[in-house]
């Protein structure tokens, strides 16, 4: 078992724009208004840099900002783990379209944004963080894989880590081909050192199949349409300030057990 | 939990030097590079590439045909080289399928399948072909999902995709998972395959050389893109070259240009030495990232010189294989393992006149000599840096 602490949370999703506003929805006190779509305006990047980024990168950065607004850590102190199942469909679409044209005029900006760690690269520049940063993917299990990676890094490398799990819908031509049909991003600042107001997570990897925890209908729909929204059962418990034990599936034959707040 | 070294109990490599360790070793010792004028279909570029022969004829097993794309075909070839899949099967019997993790690096995954699908879009509808399977080919997780199924493994599995540091960073993650007890052994590695995206993408950044690439040369003018697959099995006990340490850092400087003084590279190398508990003087050989772009080599030279003061022999092996991007970390780690096991330092192929502004002591002819401890560097877009240290027990 490994213990890690949640120091701060960020969230960007339809009807849950920012962690402060999302908590009443997650506690079941307010209805989820899916028509309330987030507008991405991360302030971490200067406007000229921001213009060079994509909706996916803005989604990730804005969610990081949300978590860090309430964090005791300075951005440059944080290592990072970026988990995205799909990567940047907008960039894939633009590059693959360009590659069908005469002379194949791929844009240099699109190309450097095409790397899976593009959001992490912009984050490191904006944060001034030279700490380790890992960008990963594990299909529909990308949140679980990201949480385990971030917690393990925080504990074994003795560094606070910001985890970003984020995915953005594919563009129309690729719609239905991937895992993502709605935007969702969650940020968790994780640390091995206990502090005031932090929630402990006790993690264990178990073999055997585990079903996903049940969710209210609208939250379940988000989870169906975005791998990052596998975080929702954990976020519900954090919003309630409750104690619970959850099991999140991680591949067909493995699960991550999370003891929360105990 | 302090770092514990791990043993590489099995490994395999496939690159432009050929299929398997023997082919790579023979080429490295004979001075025979693997680059060729670009003959990748549809790429009308004047450059050289490191292409692997035989990928086109590979058939995936029936139950895994959904994963069929150039990248997973290359993965399959790599898994079958050097008895690697058989070694993993034996390890599975020792540890149990759920206790072996799979941590692989790639930069572009199976994007070639999407490139092809876009070329086949319906003229009227604009629709992609119905049989195009984006999830199993292009999705970033594809190669790890394919590999775990092919090898019958059920432990933690993920793809690390941090551009050209991807398959070096998998060693760090695997090491942490074993230390944490999430698994007892790990298949690490990387696979990246040729595609128009990288050929034309690097060309758009004016980073592609028209000639065979020349790391550290005064006339170096860019990279050659290559493809490769490599795998290593990491365990706590066994015989073989050991992973002695790793170091990771971020440049926090620019998306596609390294910090001019190599600050991030320096931090990664220092972290690796701290992790291994070694002084710089203990490093016999440094396998440079050495892409042969003017700015990359200058930055890395600055960092290496600051830390090692010219004390360790250096070379880049990009001139043999091309830059294999997400597979560069594992490919070069395996070349380092070969260097230790066989006792040689590979030359920096194609480097003729060393840039007088650069200071690292570059090995220009492959030399036979005992090699105990090596460092290998991998740096990627987004400012992602990783250095690994491999060696015999020290």
pLDDT digits 0-9 by tens, A122-166: 999 999 999 999 999 999 999 999 999 999 999 999 999 999 999
**pLDDT band, very low/low/confident/very high, at A1 (cuts 50, 70, 90):** very high
In the numeric block, which tokens belong to residue B174? 């695997």
CB contact under 8 A, A134 and B248: yes
Quick one: average pLDDT of A79-106?
97
Closest-CA residue in chain A for B140? A137
pLDDT of residue B394: 52
Contact in structure between B110 and A106 (CB atoms under 8 Å)? no
pTM confidence score: 0.98
Per-residue pLDDT for B390 more than 70? yes
CB contact under 8 A, A85 and B140: yes
b/e burial code for range B75-106 (CB count within 10 A of at least 16 → b): bbbbbbbbebbebbeebbeebbbbbbbbbbbb
Average pLDDT, chain A: 96
- Rounded Cα distance, B385 and B371, in Å: 24
Q: How far is CA A145 from CA A84, A161, A185, B257, B372, in A?
A: 10, 14, 15, 30, 35
Give the number of other Cβ atoms within 10 Å of residue B152's Cβ. 12
Partners of B252 on chain A (C-beta within 8 Å) are 76, 124-125, 127-130
CB contact under 8 A, A99 and B132: no
Contact in structure between B226 and B326 (CB atoms under 8 Å)? no
- Rounded Cα distance, B60 and B74, in Å: 10
Per-residue pLDDT for B82 more than 60? yes
Closest-CA residue in chain A for B387? A132
**Among B135, B154, B179, whose Cβ lies nearest the Cβ of A251?**
B154
* Phi and psi, residue B269, nearest 5°: -65, -40
**Among A114, A173, A205, whose Cβ lies nearest the Cβ of B156?**
A205
CB contact under 8 A, A136 and B158: yes
Q: How far is CA B177 from CA A254, B234, B366, in A?
A: 14, 11, 36
Contact in structure between B72 and B59 (CB atoms under 8 Å)? no
CA dihedral (A212, A9, A204, B89) positive or negative: positive
CB contact under 8 A, B161 and A177: no
Interface of A with B in 71-90 (CB under 8 A): 76, 84-87
Considering the candidates B138, B275, B289, B314, report the single residue annotated as catalytic.
Answer: B289
* Interchain CB contact of A97 with B (< 8 Å): yes
Partners of B205 on chain A (C-beta within 8 Å) are 108, 111-112
pLDDT digits 0-9 by tens, B301-326: 999 999 999 899 999 999 999 999 99
Contacts of B29 (CB under 8 A, 6+ apart): B342, B344, B366
Closest-CA residue in chain A for B117? A96
Quick one: average pLDDT of A204-222?
91
**Among B161, B256, B381, whose Cβ lies nearest the Cβ of A136?**
B161
Give the number of other Cβ atoms within 10 Å of residue B68's Cβ. 19
pLDDT of residue B124: 83
Per-residue pLDDT for A256 more than 60? yes
pLDDT digits 0-9 by tens, B225-255: 999 999 999 999 999 999 999 999 999 999 8
- Rounded Cα distance, A87 and A169, in Å: 10
Per-residue pLDDT for B211 more than 60? yes
Q: Rounded to 5 degrees, what angle do the CA atoms A261, A187, A153 make?
A: 75
Q: How far is CA B45 from CA A18, A196, B42, B70, in A?
A: 47, 59, 9, 20
Partners of B108 on chain A (C-beta within 8 Å) are 114
- Rounded Cα distance, B394 and B392, in Å: 6
pLDDT of residue A247: 96
Per DSSP, what are the bridge partners of residue B65? none
Sheet with B225-226, edge to edge strand ranges = B36-37, B48-50, B225-226
pLDDT of residue B273: 98
pLDDT of residue A41: 84
**Among B145, B155, B204, whose Cβ lies nearest the Cβ of A254?**
B155
CB contact under 8 A, A117 and B380: yes
CB contact under 8 A, B173 and A120: no
Residue B393: active-site member: no
> How close B127 gets to chain A, by Cα (Å)?
7
In the numeric block, which tokens belong to residue A208? 């055997």
CB contact under 8 A, A85 and B139: yes
* Interchain CB contact of A130 with B (< 8 Å): yes
Contact in structure between A198 and A5 (CB atoms under 8 Å)? yes
CB contact under 8 A, B176 and A97: no
List the beta strands (DSSP E) in chain A: 2-13, 16-17, 79-83, 133-137, 161-167, 184-191, 199-207, 244-249, 254-260
CB contact under 8 A, B176 and A120: no
- Rounded Cα distance, A31 and A26, in Å: 9
Contact in structure between B240 and B233 (CB atoms under 8 Å)? no
Closest-CA residue in chain B for A86? B139
Contacts of A249 (CB under 8 A, 6+ apart): A141, A144, A209, A210, A211, A212, A255
CB contact under 8 A, B162 and A155: no
**pLDDT band, very low/low/confident/very high, at B20 (cuts 50, 70, 90):** very high
pLDDT digits 0-9 by tens, A168-183: 999 999 999 999 999 9
In the numeric block, which tokens belong to residue A112? 């450097």
In the numeric block, which tokens belong to residue B337? 């393992």
- Rounded Cα distance, B277 and B287, in Å: 19
Considering the candidates B38, B195, B323, B386, report the single residue annotated as catalytic.
Answer: B323
In the numeric block, which tokens belong to residue B53? 């022969």
Q: Rounded to 5 degrees, what angle do the CA atoms B326, B34, B366 make?
A: 100
Interface of A with B in 240-259 (CB under 8 A): 250-254
**Among A99, A118, A251, whose Cβ lies nearest the Cβ of B115?**
A99
pLDDT digits 0-9 by tens, B175-199: 999 999 999 999 999 999 999 999 9
DSSP conformation class of A211: P
pLDDT digits 0-9 by tens, B98-131: 999 999 999 999 999 999 999 999 888 889 999 9
Contact in structure between B230 and A93 (CB atoms under 8 Å)? no
Considering the candidates B164, B195, B302, B336, report the single residue annotated as catalytic.
Answer: B164
- Rounded Cα distance, A192 and B188, in Å: 26
In the numeric block, which tokens belong to residue B116? 């092809």
CB contact under 8 A, A92 and B141: no
- Rounded Cα distance, B101 and B359, in Å: 40
Closest-CA residue in chain B for A180? B135
Partners of A142 on chain B (C-beta within 8 Å) are 141
Partners of B203 on chain A (C-beta within 8 Å) are 106
Contacts of B2 (CB under 8 A, 6+ apart): none
Partners of B381 on chain A (C-beta within 8 Å) are 112, 115, 117-118, 121
Residue B289: active-site member: yes
pLDDT digits 0-9 by tens, A54-74: 999 999 999 999 999 989 999
Chain centre distance of CA B361: 23
* Interchain CB contact of A176 with B (< 8 Å): no
Contact in structure between B156 and A145 (CB atoms under 8 Å)? yes
Give the number of other Cβ atoms within 10 Å of residue B56's Cβ. 9
CB contact under 8 A, A111 and B145: no
pLDDT of residue A38: 87
In the numeric block, which tokens belong to residue A172? 């129309």
**pLDDT band, very low/low/confident/very high, at A39 (cuts 50, 70, 90):** confident
In the numeric block, which tokens belong to residue B335? 């070349």
* Interchain CB contact of A196 with B (< 8 Å): no
> How close B252 gets to chain A, by Cα (Å)?
4
Name the nearest CA neighbour of B229 among B391, B66, B51: B51
Least reliable range by pLDDT among A9-18, B122-131, B327-336, B366-375? B122-131
CB contact under 8 A, A254 and B154: yes
Chain centre distance of CA A100: 33
Per DSSP, what are the bridge partners of residue B223? B208
pLDDT digits 0-9 by tens, B49-63: 999 999 999 999 999
Secondary structure, 3-state, B224-243: CEECEEEEEEEECCCCCCEE
- Rounded Cα distance, B16 and B51, in Å: 5
């Amino acid at each position: 078992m490994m213990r890690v602490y949640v120091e701060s949370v960020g969230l960007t999703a339809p009807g849950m724009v920012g962690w402060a506003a999302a908590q009443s929805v997650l506690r079941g006190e307010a209805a989820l208004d899916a028509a309330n779509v987030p507008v991405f305006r991360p302030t971490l990047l200067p406007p000229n840099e921001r213009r060079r980024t994509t909706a996916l990168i803005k989604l990730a950065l804005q969610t990081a900002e949300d978590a860090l607004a309430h964090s005791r850590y300075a951005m440059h102190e944080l290592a990072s783990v970026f988990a995205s199942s799909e990567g940047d469909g907008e960039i894939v679409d633009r590059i693959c379209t360009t590659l069908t044209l005469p002379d194949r005029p791929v844009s240099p900006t699109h190309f450097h944004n095409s790397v899976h760690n593009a959001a992490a690269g912009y984050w490191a520049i904006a944060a001034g963080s030279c700490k380790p940063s890992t960008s990963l993917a594990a299909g529909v299990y990308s949140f679980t894989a990201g949480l385990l990676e971030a917690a393990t890094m925080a504990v074994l490398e003795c560094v606070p880590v910001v985890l970003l799990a984020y995915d953005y819908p594919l563009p129309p031509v690729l719609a239905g081909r991937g895992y993502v049909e709605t935007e969702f991003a969650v940020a968790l600042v994780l640390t091995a050192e206990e502090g005031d107001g932090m929630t402990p997570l006790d993690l264990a990897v178990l073999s055997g199949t585990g079903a996903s925890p049940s969710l209210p209908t609208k939250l379940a729909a988000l989870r169906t349409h975005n791998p990052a929204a596998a975080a929702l059962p954990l976020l519900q418990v954090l919003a309630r300030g409750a104690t619970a034990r959850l099991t999140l599936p991680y591949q067909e034959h493995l699960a991550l057990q999370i003891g929360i707040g105990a | 939990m302090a770092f514990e070294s791990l043993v590489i109990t099995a490994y395999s490599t496939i690159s432009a030097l050929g299929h398997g360790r023997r082919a790579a070793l023979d080429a490295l010792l004979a001075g025979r590079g693997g680059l060729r004028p670009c003959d990748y279909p549809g790429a009308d570029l004047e450059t050289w590439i490191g292409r692997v022969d035989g990928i086109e004829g590979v058939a995936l097993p029936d139950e895994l045909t959904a994963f069929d794309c150039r990248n997973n075909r290359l993965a399959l070839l790599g898994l079958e080289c050097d008895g690697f899949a058989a070694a993993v099967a034996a390890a599975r019997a020792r540890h149990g399928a759920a206790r072996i993790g799979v941590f692989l690096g790639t930069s572009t995954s199976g994007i070639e399948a999407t490139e092809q699908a876009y070329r086949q879009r319906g003229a009227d509808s604009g629709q992609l072909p119905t049989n195009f399977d984006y999830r199993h080919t292009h999705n970033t997780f594809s190669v790890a999902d394919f590999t775990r199924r092919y090898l019958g493994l059920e432990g933690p599995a993920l793809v690390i995709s941090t551009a050209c540091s991807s398959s070096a960073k998998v060693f760090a993650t695997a090491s942490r998972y074993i230390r944490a007890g999430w698994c007892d052994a790990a298949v690490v590695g990387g696979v990246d395959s040729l595609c128009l995206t990288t050929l034309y993408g690097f060309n758009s950044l004016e980073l592609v050389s028209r000639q065979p690439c020349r790391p550290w040369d005064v006339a170096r003018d860019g990279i050659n893109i290559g493809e490769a697959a490599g795998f290593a099995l990491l365990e706590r006990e066994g015989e073989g070259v050991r992973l002695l340490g790793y170091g990771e850092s971020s440049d926090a400087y620019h998306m596609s240009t390294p910090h001019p003084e190599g600050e991030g590279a320096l931090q990664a190398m220092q972290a690796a030495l701290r992790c291994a508990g070694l002084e710089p003087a203990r490093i016999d050989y440094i396998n440079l990232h050495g892409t042969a772009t003017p700015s990359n080599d200058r930055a890395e030279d600055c960092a290496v010189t600051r830390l090692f003061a010219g004390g360790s022999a250096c070379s880049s092996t990009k001139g043999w294989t091309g830059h294999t991007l997400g597979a560069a970390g594992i490919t070069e780690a395996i070349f380092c393992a070969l260097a230790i096991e066989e006792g040689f330092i590979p030359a920096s192929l194609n480097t003729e006149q060393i840039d007088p502004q650069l200071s690292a002591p570059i090995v220009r002819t492959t030399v036979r000599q005992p090699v105990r401890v090596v460092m290998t560097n991998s740096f990627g877009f987004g400012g992602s840096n990783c250095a690994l240290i491999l060696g015999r027990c020290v």
